[in-house]
Each structure stands twice: as C-alpha cells, then as structure tokens.
Amino acid sequence: MELLVASAVGVLTAGGVYLILRLRAFPVILGLALLSYAVNVFLFSTGRLMVNAPPVLNNYGDASYTDPLPQALVLTAIVISFGMTAVLVMFALGAYLEADDDSINMRDEIDDDAARADAEEGGA
Amino acid sequence: MSHWIIAPVVLPAILAPIIAFVMRHDISLARAASFAGTIALAAICVGLVVAAADGQTVSYELGNWPAPFGIVLVLDRLSAVMLLLTAILALLVLLHAVATGWDARGRHFHALFQFQLMGICGAFLTGDAFNLFVFFEVLLIASYGLMIHGGGKVRLQAGLQYVVMNLAGSTLFLFALGTLYAATGTLNIADLAEKVQALPVEDAALVRAAAMMLMIVFAIKAALFPVQFWLPATYANAPAPVAALFAIMTKVGAYAIIRVHTVVFGPDVPVLSGVIGDWLMPAALVTLAVGAVGVLGARRLMSLLAFSVVGSMGTMMVAVAAFTAETTAAALYYLVHSTFSAAALFLLADLVVSRRHGDGLRAQQPTVQNGLFAALFFAGAIGMAGMPPLSGFLGKLVILDAMQDTPHMKVAFVAILLGSLLTIVGFARAGSVLFWKSTGLVPEPVDPEADAVADDRPQPAGAMAVAPTVLAVAMLGLLAVFAGPVSAYLGDAAGQLYDSSGYVSAVMGSGEGG
C-alpha cells in the first residue's frame, strides 16, 4: 500500500507540474487540480497509513486508531483548493474573453504604454 | 485573559460581509463603514503595541482548547508592531482610494479590502503553522480580487499569472506542512520549537526538507530570487492603491521567515546546522542585485517602483539571513521603513500616471502640479534609495552596522552599497525624465478644437488626494526622528524572537494559568 500511495502522489505531482509548465489556461487549471489531489493524498499519509482503524481513541486504549488530525487538515485543504480552483477558472475565463488569448504569460513591455492606456480605459 | 488579541481578526471579518451584503449599493455608506473599521483597527493595534511593550508574550486560546491541540493566537512585540504597521498603511491606502475614486471603479473594493486586512492581521497573530496557511489563503484570495479591481486586459492577464503562481505556492506550503507533521506530530509553532529542538540528528532529513520547503513558500511571498518573477508584473499592473497595500504583502512573507525560522528552525537547532541562513543569504544578495538592476533598466514608472520593492526586500533579507538578534532588529526597522516608502511611491505614481498618457518613462508635456509631484517623488526616492535625512538612510546604516560582526560582512556591504548606488541612479534618471525634461518641451500648438477636449485635461489633485502620499512621506520623516525609541522597541522584539523560551512557555504553559 505504501508503494501505491507514494507512486500516486509522485505521478499526480509530476503530471501537475508538467501541465502547469504548459502555460495555457486550461492545462494549468488541470495541473493545479492534479497538484492539489497529490497534496491531499500526501497529507493523508502524514498520519501514517492505516487500514480499518477509526480516527478516535477508545476508552480502553486497546484498539488501534488512526491519527484524526491529517484528516481534518485534508478536509480544510480540499475546501480551500476547491474554492481556489473556482476563482482561478473565473480569472482564466475573464482573461481569455478580454484578451482572446489563453496563454499565461505577459507580453513584452515594448508596446506597454498603449496596453496600459487600454487598461486604464477599461477601468474608467 | 484579554480578548483584544483576536479583535484585529474578528473586526474586519465581521465588517467585510456586512459591507458586501448590506452596503453594496451605497458606496458612501461602504466608505464610512470601511473608514470606521480601519480607524478602530488602528486604535486596537496601538493598544496591542502598548500592551506588548512590557515584553510579556500573551497567547490566546481559541475556544479555550489547550495549546498543542487547539489553535492559539500569540501576541508579542513583533506581531504587535506588524499589526500597527498594517493598520496605518491600510488607513493611508483607504484615504487615497476614496479620494481618487479608485474604490468606485469596480465592485466590492471595501469588502475585499477588509478581508485582506483580516488575512494579514491573522497571519501576523497566529501561533499555528496550519492556521498560518489558512490566513495566507484568506489574504491571497482577497488580494486576487483587489489585484484585478477595475479590470482591463493587461491587468486580468497579470492577475491570472499572479493567481497561478500563488496557487502553486500554496500547494508547496501544504507539502511542507505535511512533511513537518509527519516528522514531528504537531503544527503548533511553540510545540514545534520544542519538538524540533529535541529531535535526534538521525531524523533530521525530513525536518530539514520541511524547513527548506517552508522557506521557499515564504520566499515566494517575499519575492526572493529565484521566485521573485511574479512581483514586477503584478505590482506594475495592479491598481496603484492596491500596489501600495501590497507593500505589506511581501512583508508577510518576510515576517513568516523571521517568525518560523527563528522560533522553530532557529540558527542553534542541531538538526538544521544553519542550513537556512546558508541558502537565504545568496538568495537575498541576488534579489538585491535584481532589484537594483531592474530599477536601472525599467521603462515604466510602475515597474521601476516594483523593482525597487524587490531591491528593498533583498536588502532586508540580507539582514534577516544573518540570523542574529542585532541584524534582525535592523531588518525590522528597515521593514517598517520600506513599507511606507513603497506605499508613498505607489500612491504618488497613481497621482502622476493618471494625469499622463501611460506610465512610460518618456518626457511628456508637464502635467498640472508638476512641482508638487516632483518634490514628493524626490522625497519618496531618497527614502527608497536610502539617503539622508529620511529613514531609509538610517535603516541601511543600522543594517550595515549590525552586519559588521557577521561572516558575511564584506559581501553584504558591497551588495547593499552598490545596490543603493544603482537605485539612486535609476530613480534620478526616472525623476529627471518625468518631471524635469518635460518642462523643457515646447508646448504643443493649440489645437483649434482644444475647447472640445478641454474636459479631458488632467484636473489638479485635491488636498485629500495628495494627503495620503504626504502622510506616507511624513511617516518616513517621523521614523527617522523617532529612530531611537522605534529601534529600541524593535530590538526588544528581535531579542524576544531569539529567546524562544518565552514564546514557548507562554503558549504551552498557559493551560493552567488560563
């Protein structure tokens, strides 16, 4: 099981990093989602891997139990990464619709004055 | 136990949804509420600074859960100073945003602004590493909204880049926290300090990896080389008042490094053997160089200022990376200074750029109030570059003085002095192109249709619009005048950091005292 979990984290991370480096909006969003899955599985494993053990102590202290804290952390991390992905999708859509270009990269500064003026007009 | 400690988090947290839901159709009501909240925040922070002055570290247990199990907020001199700095900066930025009408150019400025303050204050107060992550996310998600406030093509693209960078950083933060928890079994900062200190050297690898990952995460926030690339694009394209508020955001990263890598991974922890400082110092030196060269090479006013922020972070982190109480005290004084000088310059840049055609560094017809803006730019520039009489000079002097006894003395002196020189040249060039050369240009022949476009001509800035910039410069002056008391307080704060027993006993021992 250790091998399975470890390789799952590794593959998800590798895929996520690769997709982020594509620098187009859609692959980057997928890549960040994969990375957040990787980190969720990883956080789970930080409490040591256990099967069929409840996340609570029992009164008699004889049953084995699994650490509940990483599960709480994972829950928080899932909620946050879910919300962040939603925000990111909105950003990517907004940027794509405004610029007709889904690449995540700034243009050179050469014609920046004009672009800047555009931005100001858009803001006014 | 005093409940005031949690007030800087709770106050904006309650105010922000009220502004967002109740006052969203009435900008003047939202402005009044936002002002009232920020002024109250500043008053509370003054109280906390006074309360922390006696050197007592106070911990506040949320829900009254005892320390390593529940989340604690911790107030010591350092966090009190950072809170007060945030509140004063927020007040200046808010004044500017309202006076120049920036807050009305998009929706929900004030709600996002208050959420931002909540996240920043929480990050400065928390005594729990995972809670630090949560507050980072709060302040980041608010900053995403503020960053694209007002919209526009370039700004949205820059915003997307900023979000992607920070989401990747957050993932790394979680990896670091997971590793740390796996190695020590706790995420409470005080508990971590004890556990890491007692860790056998054989188990060092995991903790060392976690410490390095945390440093990279905080370095992303603090815009250190090699993860500083997001900052110039973000700051240069954010609305100027937001960029001024972001002056504190890089400091959150710096604060996190100062807090975590002294209290938990301090220089005397056996399993780390000073590895943090060895990596941080070159990163800081290169950051300083990148900032200085960027100032020299920038072709836009906003990116020039963004690079000067990078340079000031480099200067500060050089002092932090030496990891002694004296250098940290010097770094803290410079932190306060560089926050206000960056804010002053960004606020001024907004006044200037909104009256010019774009912010390229080219000579144009002088705008209205050219003299006033030139004088303010001059004052902000000498503050940022570190020339007397403003506090930048004292800040750099204190850093150089504190660096004297460290092994990095030579390289730090060369980097800081050369960096200052390049920054001075860069600012002098920008200032003379923007404000001086323009007066020599022949005025354009008067267009017969000029009357038709007369309304387009820039309006002079009112007293309320200029006031925040003047106040920010005045803060630099005050910081220089009261350098003695301020640096004494910050010196005590740094002392408190390096004597982590006070922190640990305040958090871990308060179970009985309640």
Q: What are phi and psi of B61, to 5 degrees?
A: -90, 120
| Per-domain boundaries in chain B | 3-441+463-513
- Tell me the chain B residues in contact with residue A66 when contact means C-beta distances shorter than 8 Å: none
Give the pLDDT band of residue A2 (cuts 50, 70, 90): confident
Q: Closest-CA residue in chain B for A115? A: B154
Cα B305 to Cα A45, B143, B289, B300, B372: the distances in Å are 44, 19, 15, 9, 19
Q: Do B170 and A80 touch (CB under 8 A)?
A: yes
- Tell me the chain A residues in contact with residue B300 when contact means C-beta distances shorter than 8 Å: 109, 112-113, 116
pTM value? Answer: 0.90
Residue in B3, B1, B4, B114 with CA at minimum distance from that of residue B48: B4
Indicate the burial class of A64 (C-beta count within 10 angstroms; 0-12, 13-18, 19 or more). Answer: exposed
CA B190 to chain centre: 24
- A3 to chain B, closest Cα gap in Å: 17
Evaluate if residue B136 carries a pLDDT over 90: yes
pLDDT for the residue numbered B488:
92
Contact assessment for residue B271 and residue B199, using Cβ atoms and an 8 Å cutoff: yes
* Three-state secondary-structure class, residue B67: coil
Contact assessment for residue A13 and residue A6, using Cβ atoms and an 8 Å cutoff: no
pLDDT for the residue numbered B510:
54
Evaluate if residue B426 carries a pLDDT over 70: yes
Which residue, among A41, A120, A121, would best test binding to B if mutated, counting the most B CBs under 10 Å from its CB? A120
User: In the CATH scheme, what is the code of domain A2-123?
Assistant: 1.10.287
Indicate the burial class of B219 (C-beta count within 10 angstroms; 0-12, 13-18, 19 or more). Answer: buried
Q: A16-24: long-range contacts at Cβ-Cβ below 8 A with a sequence spacing of 24 or more? A: A16/B171, A20/B164, A20/B168, A23/A103, A23/A104, A23/A105, A24/A102, A24/A103, A24/A104
User: Each residue of B140-163: pLDDT tens digit?
Assistant: 999 999 998 888 888 888 889 899
For B167, the closest of A32, A101, A117 (CB atoms) is A32
User: Each residue of B21-69: pLDDT tens digit?
Assistant: 988 888 899 999 999 999 999 999 999 999 988 888 888 888 888 878 8
Element (H, E) at B75: strand B72-75
Q: Which two tokens stand for residue B332?
A: 């803290």
Please indicate whether residue B271 or residue A25 has the higher confidence score (pLDDT): A25
Q: What is the ipTM of this complex?
A: 0.85
User: Each residue of A55-107: pLDDT tens digit?
Assistant: 777 776 667 778 888 888 899 889 988 899 999 999 899 888 888 888 877 76
Residue in B468, B373, B476 with CA at minimum distance from that of residue B430: B373
Q: Does B299 touch chain A (CB under 8 A)?
A: yes
**CA–CA dist B169, B253 (Å, integer):** 12
Cα B217 to Cα B108, B132, B228, B322: the distances in Å are 29, 12, 11, 19
Chain B contacts in chain A segment 74-113 (CB below 8 A) = 76-77, 80-81, 83-84, 87-88, 91-92, 94-95, 98-99, 101, 104-106, 109, 112-113
Mean pLDDT of B364-385: 86
Give the pLDDT band of residue B457 (cuts 50, 70, 90): low
Residue in B468, B394, B462, B457 with CA at minimum distance from that of residue B96: B468
Give the pLDDT band of residue B449 (cuts 50, 70, 90): low
- Tell me the chain A residues in contact with residue B119 when contact means C-beta distances shorter than 8 Å: none
**CA–CA dist B283, B211 (Å, integer):** 16
